[in-house]
DNA sequence: GTAGAAAAGTACAACGACTCTACTTAGCGA
DNA sequence: TCGCTAAGTAGAGTCGTTGTACTTTTCTAC
């Protein structure tokens, strides 16, 4: 797939990064996040601790390796949506489309468990999404020709970005995403008792 | 006002806590959050660093001193609402009622500026609210007799708790809170161009 | 009042995340 | 072949935070 690395240097750099990420993930899954120090990871990957921080901004970033460019995809989904489609529908479709890939990991279950059972990782994961509130709301505001800090735009951006967080861990994520977008589209309705969970 | 401290010990304890919080706030406002170490604060308050952590769970908690018991108030607003009032209306009223007190600080402007210009503090402030998602959603679910992890209940709890975050820094917070609750009640509507900001 | 429990505070050492500086090494381009 | 640059290393240092063992203060019960 994506192998734009031409030079040997870039290849080696990527290899080092990968070695660190792999070592980190394995150790985290084995012992738990708090029971693994940066030094442990550096030793396992056979690099110095300084090198770890050359590749990753902090310990939490080691867990969420391929953070990718969610931001640009998000903006594109709004800007390049089919004419006539509402922004909320475009975002709903985008979330439904790009999401299965994330759960396709080999050790998805253990990984989810690791994140959910480590408070600092839960917090980091939530921030990964809400970090894009500003750029998403700016894109939405542009579509309507209003100020970037328009309250309705900031609000819907934030609410939409909460949806992945809320849907995580649900048995039927597709249905959950749909229900959450319905709340934003039509307003909240009290739950019905019978269908339960 | 609230002076339930009877014993001298409790009074002294509260005094040292206050001394630490005061010293911390002053230093933070003077130099900025990152330019002040725990040792600086401890020295200014004439206590040891260990004492600082006896009173506050971490450096960020020094900024948000009177965190109070927002949680119990929130639950009470749902549980003890007037009969016939919807949960969303009860929460809207609760937010509108209990909020002016927070902005009544003497150095409110500088304080807001401090928080907004320090990423770690922004993150902490957001988490202060969303931390109560679980208990609020449980209370809401109880009102309807559904499971605690009912999606609609978790979602509305989370969205409501985002409202204070979204309304912070707005010129007319009351109006902002109202508009945000309207989104949750009736669904999102695209912004109109003319009224602008 | 005084003894002793209980809590607040201190000094000090330690750990882990992270940064900085100066140095070495390896790939790249001429 | 000769630098230039970027990757990596070693090692010391800062800072937040915790744990341990000790002193001081206050409360309580005799």
* Tens digit of each residue's pLDDT (9 = 90 or more) over A146-193: 999 999 999 999 999 999 999 987 888 899 999 999 999 999 999 986
Mutate to test the interface with B, among A125, A134, A190, A193 (most CBs of B within 10 A): A190
Calculate the angstrom distance between C1' of D2 and CA of A8.
Answer: 20
pLDDT band at B1 (very low <50, low <70, confident <90, very high): very low
Q: Which residue has the closest alpha carbon to D14 C1'? A: B37
Helix then strand then coil, % of chain A, to nearest 5 = 70, 0, 30
Chain position carrying tokens 């770890």: A52
What pLDDT does residue B102 have? Answer: 64
Q: Which nucleotide minimizes the distance between its C1' and the CA of B39?
A: D15
Calculate the angstrom distance between C1' of C21 and CA of A15.
Answer: 26
pLDDT band at A5 (very low <50, low <70, confident <90, very high): low
Q: Is A190 exposed, middle or buried (0-12, 13-18, 19+ CB in 10 A)?
A: middle
Cα gap A42→A46, rounded to integer Å: 6
**A195–B contact, CB cutoff 8 A:** no
Smallest Cβ–Cβ distance between A191 and the set B88, B150, B179 belongs to B150
**pLDDT tens digit sequence for A63-108:** 998 776 788 889 999 999 999 999 999 999 999 988 766 666 777 8
What pLDDT does residue A194 have? Answer: 54
Residues 170-189 of A with CB under 7 A from strand C: none
Question: How is residue B44 written in tokens?
Answer: 């200014």
In degrees rounded to 5, what are phi and psi of residue B5?
A: -70, 115
Cα gap A148→B120, rounded to integer Å: 23
Distance from CA of B173 to the nearest CA of A (A): 11
Contacts (Cβ under 8 Å, ≥6 apart) of A72:
none
SS3 call for A84: coil
Calculate the angstrom distance between C1' of D24 and CA of A64.
Answer: 49
Cα gap A22→A37, rounded to integer Å: 15
**pLDDT tens digit sequence for A23-56:** 999 999 999 999 999 999 999 999 999 999 999 9
Stretch among A9-13, B63-67, B118-122 having the lowest mean pLDDT: B63-67
Cα gap A180→A163, rounded to integer Å: 7
pLDDT band at B168 (very low <50, low <70, confident <90, very high): confident
Task: For B184, name the nearest residue in chain A, comparing CA atoms only.
Answer: A187
Q: Which nucleotide minimizes the distance between its C1' and the CA of A61?
A: C17
Question: How is residue B142 written in tokens?
Answer: 């109880």
Q: Is A76 exposed, middle or buried (0-12, 13-18, 19+ CB in 10 A)?
A: middle
Residues 27-56 of A with CB under 7 A from strand C: 36-39, 49-50, 53
Cα gap B17→B55, rounded to integer Å: 6
For residue A61, pLDDT over 70 is answered with yes
The answer to whether residues B51 and B137 touch, using CB atoms and an 8 Å cutoff, is: no
What pLDDT does residue A109 have? Answer: 84
Distance from CA of A155 to the nearest CA of B (A): 7
Helix-helix angle A151-167:B151-167, to 10 degrees:
140
For residue B67, pLDDT over 80 is answered with no
Question: How is residue A5 written in tokens?
Answer: 């690395």
Taking residues A112-120, what's their average pLDDT? 93
Please provide the average confidence, as pLDDT, over all residues in chain B. 90
What pLDDT does residue A106 have? Answer: 73
What pLDDT does residue B70 have? Answer: 83
Residues of A whose CB is below 8 A from B90: none
What percent of chain A is modeled with pLDDT above 90?
73
DSSP assigned state of B149: T
Residues 16-55 of B with CB under 7 A from strand C: 16, 46-51, 54-55
What pLDDT does residue A2 have? Answer: 47
Question: How is residue B157 written in tokens?
Answer: 């709890």
The answer to whether residues A49 and A42 touch, using CB atoms and an 8 Å cutoff, is: yes
Q: Where would I find the H helices in chain B?
A: 8-31, 38-45, 49-55, 59-63, 70-79, 87-98, 100-103, 108-116, 119-130, 133-144, 151-167, 173-186
Closest C-alpha to A165, from B134, B160, B188, B155: B155
What pLDDT does residue A196 have? Answer: 41
CB contact under 8 A, A187 and B191: no
What pLDDT does residue A25 have? Answer: 96
DSSP string, A102-163: HHT-TTHHHHHHHHHT-HHHHHHHHHHHHTTHHHHHHHHHHHHT--TT-HHHHHHHHHHHHH
């Amino acid at each position: 797939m994506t192998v734009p690395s031409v030079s040997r240097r870039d290849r080696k750099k990527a290899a080092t990064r990968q070695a660190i990420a792999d070592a980190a993930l394995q150790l985290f899954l084995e012992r738990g996040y708090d029971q693994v120090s940066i030094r442990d990871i550096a030793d396992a990957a056979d690099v110095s601790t300084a090198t770890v921080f050359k590749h990753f901004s902090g310990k939490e970033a080691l867990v969420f390796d391929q953070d990718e460019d969610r931001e640009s995809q998000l903006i594109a989904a709004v800007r390049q949506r089919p004419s006539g489609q509402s922004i909320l529908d475009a975002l709903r479709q985008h979330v439904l489309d790009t999401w299965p890939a994330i759960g396709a990991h080999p050790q998805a279950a253990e990984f989810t468990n690791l994140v959910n059972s480590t408070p600092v990782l839960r917090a980091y994961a939530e921030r990964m999404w809400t970090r894009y509130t500003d750029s998403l709301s700016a894109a939405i505001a542009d579509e309507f020709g209003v100020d970037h800090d328009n309250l309705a735009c900031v609000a819907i951006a934030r609410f939409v970005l909460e949806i992945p967080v809320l849907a995580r861990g649900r048995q039927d994520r597709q249905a959950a995403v749909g229900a959450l977008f319905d709340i934003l589209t039509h307003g909240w309705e009290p739950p019905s008792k019978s269908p339960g969970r």
